[in-house]
Structures are given as C-alpha cells and as structure tokens.
Structure 1
Amino acid sequence: MEKELVFTSAESLLMRGEQPTIDSIVSSTGLADSVVEKQLQQWWHTIPEKLSLNDQMVSVPGLPESLGGAFGRIWQQAVEEAETRLRADSRTLNHANEEVRQLAEESLKDSHNKRSLVETQLREIKLKLEDSQIHSRSVDAELSVMKAAIVSEATSRKKEEHLRAKLENDLVHLRKAHEDAKRTFEQRIKEDQRHSLDQISKSEADARYYRNASEKLRDDAGTKETTLTKKNHDLLSEIARHEVRIDTQHTLIRSQDEELKVLKQLGMTQSRELSSNSSALLAETNKAKRLEQKVKEQDAEVKRLNQKALNSATEWGRRENLMRNELRSVADELQRAQLKVVNLEKRSISQDEEIRRLKSKL
C-alpha cells in the first residue's frame, strides 16, 4: 500500500515535469520520511526498467503508440538539446575549469604567499604573544609581589599600630613605675642617708668615748707606773741598805767568830753577848727575808700592773681597730650607697632618654 502510494505520487510528479523529492511525496501522501525515502529509492531503481531508450524512439509501457511516439520525439529532441547544451556546458565547463585551474593556481600561489606571509606574521604574533605572555607573567608576578607587599604592609601596619598601643601602655606603666621608683628611691636614699648619718654620729661618739677612756687609762697606767717605779726604787734602795747592813753584820759575825775563836775562853757574859748578837742577827736575817719577800711581792704587783696596762692598751688598741674598721665599713657602705645613687640616677636618665626616644618614634 505504501509502495503504491509512493510510486503513483512519484510518477504523477514526473508526469507534471517536477522532480520527485521526499518532501513533495511526504506532503502529497502524508507518510513518514523514512518510509518515503526507502520506497523512493526503489522507484528510482525501477525507472530504467520502465523506460527503454533507442536511437529512433522511446517506448513507454502503458501508453498508446501515438502518444509514445510523440513522447519519444519530444524526448529525442530534449535529449539532443540536452546533448548540445551538455557539449556547450562541457566546453564552457572546460574553459571555466581551465580558468578555475589558472585561478586556482594563481590563488594557490597567492595563498602560498599569503600563507608564508601569514606564517611569518603568525610567528611574529607568536613571538609577540610569548613576549606579551612573559610580560603578563612578569606583570602578574609584580602584581602578586605588590599584593603580597600590600598585605605585608597592612599586616605590618596593624602590627605597628598594635605595637604602638602596646608601647603607649608600656610607656604609661613605665612612667608610673618610674615615678614610683623615683619616690621610693628618694625615700630610700633619705632613709639610707639618715641611717648612715646616725651610724656615723654614733660611731664618732663611741670613738670619742673610747679615745677619752683609753687616754684616761693611759694616764692612770702612767701615774701608777711612776708610783710603782718610785716604790720599787725605794724598796730597792732599802734592800740595798739592808744588804749592806747584812754584809756589815756578816763581816762583824766573821770578825766576832774570829774573836770567838780567839776568845773562847771568855766568860759567860761574852757567850750571852754572842747569843744575843746571834739572835739579833737571826732577827735581822728574818727581817731581810721578809723584806726580800715583800720586794718579790712588789715586783709581782708591778708585773701584774704592767701586764694589766699592756692588756688594757691592747684591748683599747683592738677596740680602736674595731672602731676604725666599723668606720671604714660605714664609709664603704656610704660610698656604695652613693655609687648606687649615681647608678640609679644614670638608670633614671637612660630611662628618660628611652622614653623620649619612644615618644619621638611615636
């Protein structure tokens, strides 16, 4: 059914002098494009079977001979005219092909020239593009560097602002600490000066007291030493006198012994006198011994007093050395305090300079 519709529609179009196409057949039959295309191809394959073309006539099956002859003549005339047109078209086509070939060759040469020119231009453009890409890369790198620098500058600015705020706070704290330290330092210096002055006055008073006491002891020791030396000289002179007496008495005793040896035959009176003389001599010797014991005691007392004076002198010398050492330590402490004051003043001056420098930076 579809085949017959497509075939009849194609033959009717061909009889009307129109070329059967898929669109015209679809519009006339209303079939699908795929079906019409398939059946139209089959119809074109059956056309040579329906038409038999000879040199004299064209026979179309299904038509009368008169109509077929007329159609054959028309067809023959059309074929001849088509051949003449074909030859003319072939000549014109050959001429046109030659011209086209020449034009094509010329255009090919021009195209080759243009191609070489375009290639050179393309190479130049590529070089320029590479240069522009390199320049763009350098510009991008510079932009990235500038962006990084801007970011770092912003961060550094924020850090500097934060540091500035922190430094301002530190400056305020440093000012307060400096003022507090200055007040405490002044109070401490005043207290140290007062304490050192008190210690110096006390040490000077003690030194004066000990010096006066040592002078008094020296005077007392000198007076006692003079009195003891005087007593010692007196005792020594008395001992010398007693020794002289004893010597004289010994000489007398010797003489009396000699006289006793000579005068043994004397009487009881002389023996009594001799016994009395011996008792007197014994008393004198005892007295001399007592005097010698007293002299020894006086010597021991003198030695003890000398030792006491020496001990007191050494004690006063030791105390004086202690007082001098204390005075030296107080002087050293005062010097250290003065050095500490100088160092603290230098430190306060350096802190003031640091504060001024920070203010100038801010």
Structure 2
Amino acid sequence: MKRVTAIDITRGLVMVIMALDHVRDLLHTPALTQNPTDLATTTPAIFMTRWITHLCAPTFVFLSGTSAYLSLKKQHATAETNKSARSFLLKRGLVLILLELTVINFAFWFDIRFQSLMLQVIYAIGGGLVILSIVSKLPAKQVGLIGLVIVFGHNILQLVPTFTNPAAKLLWALFFRTDFFPVSPTFALLVAYPLIPWLGIMLVGYACGQLMERPMEQRKPLLLRIGVGALALFVLLRFLNIYGDPAPWAPQKSGLFTFLSFINVTKYPPSLLYDLLMLGLMLVFLSAIDGANNRFTRWLTVYGKVPMFYYILHWYLVHLSMIGMSLLQGYSLADLPSGPLNFGRPAGAGVSLELVYVVWLGLVVLLYPLCKWYGKYKAAHAEIGWLRYV
C-alpha cells in the first residue's frame, strides 16, 4: 500500500508545535509558578501558546492507531503475516513503555538517580499498542465502536470517588485518572496520561485507517465532513455545559476571555470535549493537506517520518537549552536544583515569551537536518531491525 503522506505531514506539524510547549515549560519565566490556562492569571498570548499544543498528543495517539491499521492491512496476505504484524505491535508497545521509563524520563529531569517518574504520551501510545495487538483481531468497525464508547463515556468515571487504598489508587491512575504520588522525599510518580481515555482515541484512529485506504478524492471530503461534524458537536455540547468536560465554561471579564473559557477544555485526562475539538481540527487539517505537495508540506514530512527520533532528541535539546540559559544568566551548575519532579531550573532563571519563540524556532531548524539524515538512513537500512522502533 502506498504511504499516505498526509499522515506524515500532519504528524510533522504537531511535532513542530509540540516543541513550543516544552520550550515554554522549561524556559519561560512564569512557567514554574503560573498555570498558562488559568484565566485569572494568564494572558491571551500565554494561553494560546499552551492551548495550540493541545493538538499534539491526541493527533499522535490517533495517527498511531491509523498507522497500525495501515501496517496490518499491508501485511494481510496470510494468517502468518497477520500474527507477525500483531507481534510487532506488541513489541513496539513494550519498547515504547521501556523508553518512557528510561531514556525519555532521563530527558525530562536529567537526574541519574531517577527521583522522578512521569508517565506521558509515550506510555499511553505504548500501552495502547499492546492492547491494540490483541483487539485488532476484531473487525475495524468493532474496534472503532469500542473506541467511541470510551471517548464518549469515560467522563462518567469522574463520578467515581478517589480511592484511599494506595494500590487501588495507583491502579486507577494507570488506567483512568491523572494522579500524583509523592512516594517518598526522594521519589515521586506522576501518571499524567492514564491509559484508557487515550486508548479510546487510538482505537478510533485505527478504525479511521479504513478511510485512508480510499482514493484521495473520496477520503478528503469524508475527513472534512467528520472533522466539521466533531467541531459542531463540540460547540453544541460545550454550549449546553452539562456533560463532556469537568470544567464548565463561564462568562469572563471580556468577550475574548469568555471565548478562551469556552475553548479551555480538559486534557488530563482528555475529556470528550477535548477530543471533539482537537480531533475535529486535526481531521479538517488532514483533509486540507491531503494530496498537497509544496515546500512547506515536504518540510513537515521530514519530521513526520521519524516521530520517535524527533521526540527523544528534542527533549534533550530543550533541556540542554534550559541549562545553557541558566548558565548565561549567571547561575552555576551547583545552583541547579534537584529532587522529585524538578526540571533543574533555578527559581530566578527564565526568559520572555518572545525569546521562547526564538529558541523554539532555532531548535526546530536545528532538528531538520538531523531528522532528514535519520529518515534517509532508516529507509536505506531496512534490514536493521531495531530501527523500526525508533
């Protein structure tokens, strides 16, 4: 099956956007103390800098499901190849979880003692692929239906009270609810991406792989209609303010801030309205660029073809940029704090939002030749098995 370049382009776009959020997290002066989406303290520029990056995680997860479907479909010649393809999904999922616990978590904290453990999007994708390696035996429509049930129904679980038993609380967090566990003074666990809400997105993405099999002139209008439909449903449910997000919108001090309240949906864990808004925008973009071939789309494709390579490398570069910023501002390595959930940035260090954008663009440009080289190397060395995992 011919590679669908629209998937690489869309993935490349959100990868570029994703780096902005991580640069802001580690370098922006107020980031240590200010919630960028708290309408009582934020500014429109800070809010939108954070909000636009909400597109990234659901797009990654959704397209991971779509790519898994296309990969399985490509190998559907015999029962043996089916088994081999599902085995690869299982192994890839386990490798992603291992990378999250080791290489990626070290990139977050630069702490050789691993006093912090944060389960983020790679944990969610890895766990989702493990489950998908099993449920992909079902017809794609049934897999998609399971995903829709999760997406539309998991907000009901907000009614479940917090567990007091530590083991039950941890198990619930791993699968259903974002939670923080200060295990000891020298170790903390943050489950930022509970598996099941993100699995729903992946399963819907898997079923959507059927659309991507269709000729471009057929799938473009279908993707557009589904995307616009999701956005329309978001507007309706958000306006009603009854179900779909634990944080209802409310009139604010100005029309602009009221609009920001309206689109200020919950990511941890992803609410139904978050899914409708972000995936609706993604599908509209996917439809718009399907078949496009210009300098911009070719540029994005370079990043989109090597997502894990980009993801790991960009975190290390962002963290090194934070250390470099701190040293340039007069701090020494001894001044860098350590401890659970501490990026190592001195309390007084930081730059303006304008400089955050400058650093972000510089890192994205720096990553381009590296991603281009790795993409070519990976394509030219298909016999090297481990390259399939990174």
Normalised TM-score (structure 2): 0.15
Normalised TM-score (structure 1): 0.16
Structure number with larger C-alpha Rg: 1
Question: Hey, which of these two has a bigger chunk of helix by percent?
Answer: 1
